A = this chain, B = another copy of it.
Amino acid sequence: MDELDREILDVLRRDARIPYTEIADSVGTSEGTVRNRVDRMLETGVIERFTVATRTGNIKAMIELGVDVAVDTTGVARRLAEWDPVDFVWQVSGEADVVLIVDAADTTGVNDLITRARDMDEIVSTTTRLILDEQR
């Protein structure tokens, strides 16, 4: 994690689909070096994943889930991450145990998710907040 890594990340944050060759030009190194470093950052977990920020124009929400004390929270979280409209799944400290960020086609989509979550017997509580606006 040095200055060059940070510069590469800065470029990728702006546009994660930009080719290595262009990143190399803009940070002043070769394609191979950019590739090596991105690979390394992926392996070490500095880069968690490449993703896409969407605004389907419809609905985004944050769903907080309480998980039964007797249950493997990581397993639940992993299963939730499989669901398609889910952007992020975080295990958190505090009141709730798991937080989902979802971007669904419509309210029905969000409702489906909540219903499916409630149907898992490991899940003991849900709270939903709509994401009204996103800055950045």
Contacts and interface: CB of A to CB of B under 8 A. Distances in A.
Chain copies in the assembled complex: 2
Interface in A80-101: 80-81, 84-85, 87-95, 99
A16 B17 contact: yes
Given A49-B15, A91-B133, A105 B56 contact: no
B16 A50 contact: yes
- Interface size class of chain A, counting residues whose CB lies under 8 Å from the partner chain: 35 or more
B16 A136 contact: no
Contact of A57 (B9, B14, B46, B80): B46
13 contacts: A1-B56, A10-B85, A13-B87, A15-B51, A45-B57, A48-B55, A48-B136, A81-B136, A88-B134, A90-B134, A92-B131, A93-B132, A95-B129
B92 A54 contact: no
Interface string A2-30: 00001001101111110000000000000
Contact of A89 (B15, B81, B134): B134
A117 B74 CA distance: 31
A130 interface: yes
A52 interface: yes
